[in-house]
Structure 1
């Protein structure tokens, strides 16, 4: 069952419950009012009859006739009896006993009595008179109220059915209107295939659940697009990157084994094989790091990490590896709250990302000093890594972070074009962005911006 149908049924069911409660309350309230009104009329009839018979000795015959003509019009199915102190019917002859002595005594003891006897309402009143003490009991069937309530019930049923039908149609229309953005998202999703992962669904301008769904789906598409792009790039380039050193190693070994050679020649061959093996090892290491990005992210091994601590670890590593003051760390505009330096991430992956950027800066500047500037505003963390190398052509900046891309100006340096791509991929996992721009004087600046959540 579709969501709009379920919403229509839920809304209609809720409307039915509310209408039943409302209609039931109105029905029984009106019934109570009419029953009370009938009881009061019955009391008045019993009082008039009692006054008529008990006070008949005190008024003239003419007045008695007027009272009889004016007030003694009987109610439908009315039965009225007057009982004396001996609980015997008086004034009005009684062929059949309608009330027993126990009921009469209850009226005499309580002074008043009301109850239902089947479909008849009964009223009992006690009167004290100069002729003695009397009990008046009156009963009647409220057929008028029954007929009114029957008409009211039929009207309510018709109105109830009409309202339920209107509620269902209205709820279905509202559900269709509210869910139309989802239908648009679904239609867009159905057009997305492996060959057009660059397409995105419309996120809208709101911040409701549908917009959040669209944004999350677009984020998923972005990750899938990157994964497919990496796969295609890997198929196109990794085989070349792996085959070249292997071919070189096989060729050198075949030449060396072709005939006996001098020890110096064997040493030269071994050095060449070592260089190619190191190149192969670097390529495999880079590919393993790339695979580790998806593996660690899927495991969600995240923890709060101070970004300045990683920078100081890299400072100690590179200044020991190269020379003192090779890597310079500058802390600028740091917020007082230490939480402004904390990023929820995988520390190992973040170390790899920052180390790849710093390593590139040293490699392409001939191991000249590199400066890292850390800024924190409380909402964003910025890290600028500046080298003094050859610099990058403006037209190559857009392609620099792509996998296996090598700048023409850096062809003399060893590498595979994966370092910056790995760094950018890791940084993007943790709400960060890597950009590259020429330095003001000489070299290149790698800028990282982390948005704190």
Structure 2
């Protein structure tokens, strides 16, 4: 059964159950009211008999009958009896019906009774005054009660059936409208495949569970897209970067084996093969590092990270490697609230990203001092890493964050070209952005910006 039909069924059953309880409560309330109303009218006759016959000595039985007929509605088969302390009839309003002594004594004992005898309603009351003790019993037949109960039952059944039908159609409409966003999500999900993982599910205006479902599904698609891109990138880069040195090694070896060579020529060939092998080893190491970072990237858990403490750790690390005063750390616009120094990120990955930038800065500036400035102003945190290298040309600025790309001016410096690619992905993961400022002649500044509210 579809969710829409199941919701409609549950809604209808619950609503009809509640409606049935309400109608039954009204039914029994009216049922009791009809009984009580008829008993109250019988009680009125007892009260009249008490006040006019027993309290008013000057009124006789004929006067009592006249008052009853004049001011009280006559009840079908109405009977009123007044019994004295000897259980003898002291007053007859009608004739033909008498009560036994057991009933009369029960009235004396309990003070008043109400019961049904066949189709007759009976009320009894005990009364005591200076003339003695009396028992008054009144009885009549409620001929309209059965008809009223039948009408009441019909009305209850009709109301229940009609409202149940209305509730069913309302529940169908309610379930359809409630599940419309899910139908739209299903329709959009069917369009997404391995070839178009860039597509996303459109959001809703309400901030409810469906919006949360869409958000989580879009996050899943983002991770899947990253995984596919990383896999394709790794395979493409590995096949390209491994093929080049292997082809060079095989070519050098084949040429050397074609004929007898001199010792100097063999030394040159072996030296070339050794250089290609070292390049191959460096490439394999870089690929393994890239694969590991990409793997961690897909599993990364983001937590609050104090960026000032992270920079102090980086400075301590490079001071041990390069010596004191090689990495200069400068803090500007330092906030009083320490929580403003935190971002939502992954500390191990951020260490890799920032160390890659600092490592490149030292590598390409011949170990000249490198400066890091840190500023926390407003909702942004900014880190600037400045080196004294040869600079990066404008046309190459957008290329340096691609895997295995090497700047032309620094291709003589050992490296694999994956460090900045890894750095850019880590910063993107942590909700930051990275850009480069350089005149292309001397020095470059890498600017990393984190949005604290991201």
Pair in the same fold by TM > 0.5: yes
Work out whether residues 386 and 439 of structure 1, in 8 Å CA contact, stay in contact via their aligned partners in 2: no
The structure-2 alpha-carbon separation of the partners of 1:308 and 1:65, relative to structure 1 and needing over 3 Å to count, comes to closer
Work out whether residues 399 and 405 of structure 2, in 8 Å CA contact, stay in contact via their aligned partners in 1: yes
Matched, 1:183 2:183: yes
Once the two structures are superposed, the pairs formed by residues 14-413 of structure 1 within 5 Å of their partners are: 14-48=14-48, 58-59=58-59, 63=63, 66-67=66-67, 69-70=69-70, 74-76=74-76, 78-89=78-89, 91-92=91-92, 98-99=99-100, 101=102, 103-115=103-115, 121-128=121-128, 132-252=132-252, 262=263, 271-296=271-296, 304-322=304-322, 324-343=324-343, 345-377=345-377, 379-408=379-408, 410-413=410-413
Q: TM-score, with normalisation over the residues of structure 1?
A: 0.82
Q: Which runs of 5+ in 1 are unaligned?
A: none
Q: TM-score, with normalisation over the residues of structure 2?
A: 0.82
The structure-2 alpha-carbon separation of the partners of 1:216 and 1:65, relative to structure 1 and needing over 3 Å to count, comes to closer
Worse overlay, 289-298 or 352-361: 289-298
In structure 2, C-alpha distance between the alignment counterparts of 1:61 and 1:41, rounded to whole Å: 20
Aligned residues: 450
Deviations 1:349-385 (A, max 9, x none): 2221221222233344444433222223475433222
In structure 1, C-alpha distance between the alignment counterparts of 2:141 and 2:291, rounded to whole Å: 90
Aligned residue in 2 for 1:433: 432
The structure-2 alpha-carbon separation of the partners of 1:277 and 1:333, relative to structure 1 and needing over 3 Å to count, comes to farther
In structure 2, C-alpha distance between the alignment counterparts of 1:422 and 1:332, rounded to whole Å: 27
In structure 1, C-alpha distance between the alignment counterparts of 2:250 and 2:274, rounded to whole Å: 12
Deviations 1:123-177 (A, max 9, x none): 2112346764221223445443443243233223222222232223223323323
In structure 2, C-alpha distance between the alignment counterparts of 1:448 and 1:231, rounded to whole Å: 26
Work out whether residues 391 and 439 of structure 2, in 8 Å CA contact, stay in contact via their aligned partners in 1: no
Q: Which runs of 5+ in 2 are unaligned?
A: none
DSSP-derived class of the 1:325 partner? coil
DSSP-derived class of the 1:169 partner? helix
DSSP-derived class of the 1:109 partner? helix
In structure 2, C-alpha distance between the alignment counterparts of 1:345 and 1:116, rounded to whole Å: 83
In structure 1, C-alpha distance between the alignment counterparts of 2:183 and 2:303, rounded to whole Å: 38
In structure 1, C-alpha distance between the alignment counterparts of 2:338 and 2:417, rounded to whole Å: 35
CA positional deviation for 1:270: 5.6
The structure-2 alpha-carbon separation of the partners of 1:252 and 1:61, relative to structure 1 and needing over 3 Å to count, comes to closer
The structure-2 alpha-carbon separation of the partners of 1:143 and 1:26, relative to structure 1 and needing over 3 Å to count, comes to same
Aligned residue in 1 for 2:445: 445
In structure 1, C-alpha distance between the alignment counterparts of 2:253 and 2:320, rounded to whole Å: 37
In structure 2, C-alpha distance between the alignment counterparts of 1:221 and 1:321, rounded to whole Å: 41
Work out whether residues 124 and 137 of structure 1, in 8 Å CA contact, stay in contact via their aligned partners in 2: yes
In structure 2, C-alpha distance between the alignment counterparts of 1:117 and 1:330, rounded to whole Å: 104
In structure 2, C-alpha distance between the alignment counterparts of 1:142 and 1:38, rounded to whole Å: 7
